[in-house]
Amino acid sequence: MARASLDIDLSAICANWRALDAMSGPQTRTAATIKADAYGLGAAKAAPALMDAGVRAFFVAIAEEGATLRRIVGPEPRIHVYSGHMAGDAGLIRGAQLIPMLNSIEQMTRHFETLPGHPFGVQLDSGMNRLGMEAGEWGAVAALALEQSPVLVMSHLACSDEPDHPMNARQLAEFRHLTDGINVPRSLGATGAVLLGPEYHFDMTRPGIGLYGGRPFDDARPVVRLSLPVIQTRALEPGETVGYGNTFTAPEPMWLATVSAGYADGVLRALSGKPMLYQGDTACPLVGRVSMDLLTVDISALEDCPRVLDLICPAQGIDDLADMAGTIGYEILTALGPRYLRSYAGEAAA
Ligand SMILES: *Cc1c(COP(=O)(O)O)cnc(C)c1O
């Protein structure tokens, strides 16, 4: 195997969706958030697999992603766009039959003027101060908006990965205050909200990271394995140094492998000297700095020269790497680079 390979388990993605779907009652539909090319894993493969599992509604970040997704999934599923109706997007929204989640009075005006009668949803700000209409704006246009029958009213939680955070209850109360009594389906939550319990589920949930095997869905099945080919090996004498900046010095005779992947592939440079690479159950420490295209690994524990070493595998998941780099699993996934050969297992028969 000459290329680094990223193995993506579609049946695990589907199993994770089913498990999250089973956590809410039958009156709650479970959508799938598939923005950023399914968190870097490939929407062209993940979306059809999720449809086979039962997904009928998707969420993406921007209209361009929605148009691409429409070509993949065909005319049936709903595709919602979190960024709403941005200037210049009317053609894409109409052509791909997207549902913009309108975030402001400006977007609402634009939508009603350029695409009258075209389906839309509304995003409300319940305290995160990122996207959505504020209470005052919503108060001013709610009647007008409701007259046009939005397909969904949603908001988003800032702290749903921390179940005990008081912000969750505050945002729930604010969302109820803004939407109780309206006759429109409602959605408040992502993966974290599914786990928070029934009062956070409303009519639709929109998990993303949990599908792809990340926290806060601790019971998720792992979805990715990253296997990196060894380019060469060498013996080191005690006192020899490795890589840029001489940050590692061999304390004793050791055997070193140079592996094909680096920060240009999403192996964050902040991981320098931290993770292990695995051959089966045997852990081999990454030593020295992560370079753009290369990693150096202490393989003294191995008996034979390895052909490949795994950086992401059951023994070391995306959240383990995230903790080492001071980031989150979402960033580890979306940083996975274009040079990997992506291969998919568990694909539904076409
Ligand atoms: C990304 C996103 C989601 C999905 O969040 P996860 O934490 O990945 O489940 C849901 N809603 C909004 C508004 C988002 O931006």
CA of 90 to the centre of ligand 1 (A): 24
CB 215 near ligand 1, within 6 Å: no
Residue 30's pLDDT band (cuts 50, 70, 90): very high
Residues 160 and 64 in one domain: yes
**Section 239-252 average pLDDT:** 98
CA of 273 to the centre of ligand 1 (A): 32
CATH code, domain carrying 29: 3.20.20.10
Nearest Cα neighbor of 310 from 347, 276, 270 is: 276
Last residue of a domain, one of 212, 243, 277: 212
Q: How far apart are CA 251 and CA 237, in angstroms?
A: 8
Compute the mean pLDDT over every residue in the chain, rounded to the nearest whole number: 97
Q: How far apart are CA 17 and CA 30, in angstroms?
A: 8
- Express each pLDDT in 285-305 by its tens digit: 999 999 999 999 999 999 999
Residues 172 and 298 in one domain: no
**Section 75-94 average pLDDT:** 98
Q: How many domains does the chain have?
A: 2
Residue 326 lies in a domain: no
Residues 70 and 202 in one domain: yes
CA of 115 to the centre of ligand 1 (A): 26
CATH code, domain carrying 307: 2.40.37.10
CB 191 near ligand 1, within 6 Å: yes
Residues 145 and 293 in one domain: no
Residue 348's pLDDT band (cuts 50, 70, 90): low
Residues 179 and 231 in one domain: no
Q: Give the per-residue pLDDT at 1.
A: 57
- The token pair at 280 is 């089966």
Q: Are 89 and 63 in contact (CB under 8 A)?
A: yes
- Express each pLDDT in 135-150 by its tens digit: 999 999 999 999 999 9
Residues 246 and 208 in one domain: no
Q: Give the per-residue pLDDT at 350.
A: 47
- Express each pLDDT in 201-238 by its tens digit: 999 999 999 999 999 999 999 999 999 999 999 999 99
- The token pair at 14 is 């589907």
- Express each pLDDT in 153-194 by its tens digit: 999 999 999 999 999 999 999 999 999 999 999 999 999 999
Q: Give the per-residue pLDDT at 310.
A: 98
Domain that holds residue 238: 224-316
Percent of the chain with pLDDT over 70: 99
- State yes or no: pLDDT of 349 exceeds 80: no
Q: How far apart are CA 212 and CA 14, in angstroms?
A: 9
**Section 6-17 average pLDDT:** 98
CB 190 near ligand 1, within 6 Å: yes
Q: How far apart are CA 188 and CA 198, in angstroms?
A: 11
Q: Give the per-residue pLDDT at 347.
A: 73
Residue 40 lies in a domain: yes
Q: Give pTM, 2 decimals.
A: 0.97
Alpha carbon 158 to chain centroid, angstroms: 16
- State yes or no: pLDDT of 42 exceeds 60: yes
CA of 131 to the centre of ligand 1 (A): 12
Task: Give the active site residues.
Answer: 35, 244
The dihedral built from the CA positions of residue 136, 139, 144 and 146, taken in this order, carries a sign that is positive
Q: Give the per-residue pLDDT at 172.
A: 98
CB 121 near ligand 1, within 6 Å: no
Q: Give the per-residue pLDDT at 263.
A: 98
Q: Report the binding-site residues for substrate.
A: 130, 292
Q: Give the per-residue pLDDT at 18.
A: 98
Residue 251 lies in a domain: yes
Hey, which of 37, 59, 124 would you mutate to test ligand 1's pocket, going by the most ligand atoms within 8 Å of its Cβ?
A: 59
